[in-house]
Amino acid sequence: MTFLEPVEGELRLEGMPLAEIARRFGTPCYVYSRAAIEAAFRDFDEGLGALDHLVCYAVKASSNLAILDVLARLGAGFDIVSGGELARVLAAGGRADRVIFSGVGKTEAEMRLALEAGIKCFNVESEPELERLESVAAALGRRAPVALRINPDVDARTHPYISTGMAGNKFGIPHARARGAYQHAARLPHLEVVGIGCHIGSQILETAPLDEALERVLELATALAADGISLRHIDVGGGLGIRYRDEEAPDIRAYCARLAARLAGRREQVLLEPGRAIAGAAGLLLTRVEYLKLDKAKRFAVVDASMSELLRPALYESWHPIVPVGTGAARESARYDVVGPVCESSDVHGLDRELAVAPGDLLAILAAGAYGMAMSSNYNSRPRPCEVLVDRGAALEVRARETPESLFALERRLPTR
């Protein structure tokens, strides 16, 4: 995160001391840099240059209204996977005609909402979904714009839980059936075939599988043209990885420049669906050390953030940098397992980390801007943390910390006898 730097013995984000954010808003607390989000978006948007394109931010990566607002102001489109995300995008000032709707399980109610809002495209993931969309659109007297999400059967070479483009995944329509599905879609009167897409996985570090998937999609587009089906857009998906530890993450500008060169001269608009690559490096989770605990052979730093706030390490054994916020104070350095207070042994933020800390110190868990707050839960009846956006040196609370009462506000005790 280039907007994070140590200044006079303490970490600052866009010039704002993290310790001051902790003082004002408490911990645990998610903190995002507006400048970092904007810079990441521009890497895509400017990287594609003059190519007709729309960068559709994958809302599920980090969906706070302020983050969507920042991106909407830059002209972003949005890739959504639920009616809830559509509502968020519209509430944040996003344009419906820049929304594409992905996901294998769209309900009739979600389809209706999206049709009424006038979204840009439904990314249809199965033949039965085509039938359902046809009937929902017919009932509303509308035509639904559709693209088929193709499963190109390429190995994204990422974690199996976040690989989505291989035969046997639940995602997309198998490459071999795509042409037939398009011919069928083209015959349905309330569908309008407008595009083709794919998305092969997440945290992808090598671009070769992305290139391979694109070639398969382009081949199909050529075959479809021969069948008389012309497309308005080609959606290359998202999934580009970021550096958490020592990974060589793809250079976004270089990737986009290659895309632009490969697709130059085509008539179709090019869509991208990045999530992590836009929000991931732009956010961190601020937490305080509650206890240092010594076991026979192990030292634990027990912090006030848990797997309820940041699930990725527990879910994927993912590695996040963990750094002290105050870098000046004299502390003895030791190796700690940094753990949370939740009653699960998987509630670990990092194993065996060399840290110079004392109880009461602040730690920043970095690269937590994507799939952090978005995957948080209330497990152990923990109120979700607040979210703070740093915007040119000012800290704005963009989501208040939940209260314990809010956690059971929708619950009811038994009726009185």
Ligand X SMILES: *Cc1c(COP(=O)(O)O)cnc(C)c1O
Residue keyed to tokens 């800390």: 357
Taking the least distance from each CB to ligand X, the nearer of 196 and 289 is: 196
Is the CB of residue 375 less than 8 Å from the CB of residue 311? yes
Q: Which of 238, 283, 350, 369 binds ligand X (CB under 6 A)?
A: 238
Among 29, 121, 198, 343, which one carries the catalytic annotation? 343
Residue 79 engages ligand X in binding (rule: CB under 6 A): yes
Residue 276 engages ligand X in binding (rule: CB under 6 A): yes
Indicate the residue type of 80.
Answer: I
In whole angstroms, the minimum distance from the beta carbon of 158 to ligand X comes to 9
Residue 202 engages ligand X in binding (rule: CB under 6 A): yes
DSSP, collapsed to helix, strand or coil, labels residue 58 as strand
Compute the distance between CA of residue 172 and CA of residue 149 in angstroms, rounded to an integer: 5
Q: Which of 12, 34, 53, 60 binds ligand X (CB under 6 A)?
A: 60
In whole angstroms, the minimum distance from the beta carbon of 234 to ligand X comes to 14
Cβ contacts of residue 215 below 8 Å, gap of 6+?
Answer: none
DSSP state at residue 97: G
Using CB atoms, what's the residue nearest to ligand X? 275
Residue 61 engages ligand X in binding (rule: CB under 6 A): yes
In whole angstroms, the minimum distance from the beta carbon of 291 to ligand X comes to 34
Compute the distance between CA of residue 47 and CA of residue 39 in angstroms, rounded to an integer: 11
Residue 281 engages ligand X in binding (rule: CB under 6 A): no
Taking the least distance from each CB to ligand X, the nearer of 198 and 231 is: 198
What residues between 110 and 169 interact with ligand X by CB under 6 A?
none
Compute the distance between CA of residue 71 and CA of residue 349 in angstroms, rounded to an integer: 29
Taking the least distance from each CB to ligand X, the nearer of 98 and 199 is: 199
Q: Give, for 134, the enclosing helix (H) or strand (E).
A: helix 127-140
Indicate the residue type of 240.
Answer: L
Q: Cα dist. 88→72, 156, 377 in Å?
A: 12, 30, 18
In whole angstroms, the minimum distance from the beta carbon of 342 to ligand X comes to 25
Residue keyed to tokens 């521009």: 42
Tokens matching residue 55: 């960068």
Q: Which of 209, 237, 326, 340 binds ligand X (CB under 6 A)?
A: 237
Verify whether residue 343 is a known catalytic residue: yes
Is the CB of residue 370 less than 8 Å from the CB of residue 62? yes
Residue 283 engages ligand X in binding (rule: CB under 6 A): no
Residue 369 engages ligand X in binding (rule: CB under 6 A): no
Candidates 58-66, 130-138, 346-354, 360-368; binding stretch for ligand X (CB under 6 A): 58-66
User: CB neighbours (10 Å) of residue 266?
Assistant: 14
Is the CB of residue 393 less than 8 Å from the CB of residue 16? yes
DSSP, collapsed to helix, strand or coil, labels residue 349 as strand
- 311-350 footprint of ligand X as x/- string (CB under 6 A): ----------------------------------------
Q: Which of 134, 268, 273, 347 binds ligand X (CB under 6 A)?
A: 273
Query: Interface residues with ligand X (CB under 6 A)?
Result: 58, 60-61, 79, 81, 102, 199, 202, 237-240, 273-277, 370
Residues with a known catalytic role: 343
